[in-house]
Amino acid sequence: MSIYYIYQDHDRCIGCYACEVHCKTKNELPVGPRLCRIIETDIKLIGGLPRQRFVFMPCFHCEDPWCVKACPTGAMQKRSKDGIVFVEQSLCVGCKSCITACPWGVPQWNPETGKVVKCDYCKDRVDQGLKPACVTKCTTKALKFVSADEASKLKRERFVKDTYASLY
């Protein structure tokens, strides 16, 4: 897994799909490939109130990525310095093996280039000390670009805040 992680604060997320468009404009993508997705759950009544979640699905940048192993040309690579998984466009032959291999459907087909394109956490921005487009411009700052250990810290804090508030 890359040293980075995108943490989604579900209480802040409003399901506005801005992250998807921030990504598409930054990467100048045609209609078709969507490098991150918001997937809506069904509305459910929880404690008498309607609730819905908007789940953010980028690439998880696995430690041992299926897509990299499946790629016959070496186009799909993992950066040694930070573990970001990306496609070297000049090497991609459009065989779609990575699309088959990824359990989460992350690699996307670009019909304009006939190659695969995927979330690379906006590595050009990361290299400039910036954050990925989806995080930088998230409407409600529900997405946070953090290290993996920071993410588990945030998750624990959120769990306690949500779960134990009623005990006081």
Which spans of this chain sit near other proteins (rule: CB under 8 A)?
A: 11-12, 14-18, 20-22, 24-26, 31-32, 34, 43, 49-52, 136-141
Tracing tokens 């506005």 back to the chain, one arrives at 16
Closest approach, Cβ 92 to other proteins, in A, equals 23
Nearer CB in complex with other proteins: 141/153: 141
Nearest to other proteins of 33, 65 (CB atom) = 33
Helix H or strand E segment including 97:
helix 97-101
Q: How far apart are CA 44 and CA 158, in angstroms?
A: 21
Least spacing, CB of residue 83 vs other proteins, in Å: 25
Q: Given the complex with other proteins, which of 38 and 59 has the nearer CB atom?
A: 38
Give 124's Cβ-side CA count (13 Å radius): 3
What does the alpha-carbon distance between residue 17 and residue 54 come to, in Å, rounded to a whole number?
9
Q: Would residue 132 be called left, alpha or beta, if left means φ above 0 and alpha means ψ between -120 and 50 degrees?
A: beta
Q: How far is the CB of 113 from other proteins (least distance, A)?
A: 17
> Nearest approach, Cβ of 72 to other proteins (angstroms)?
30
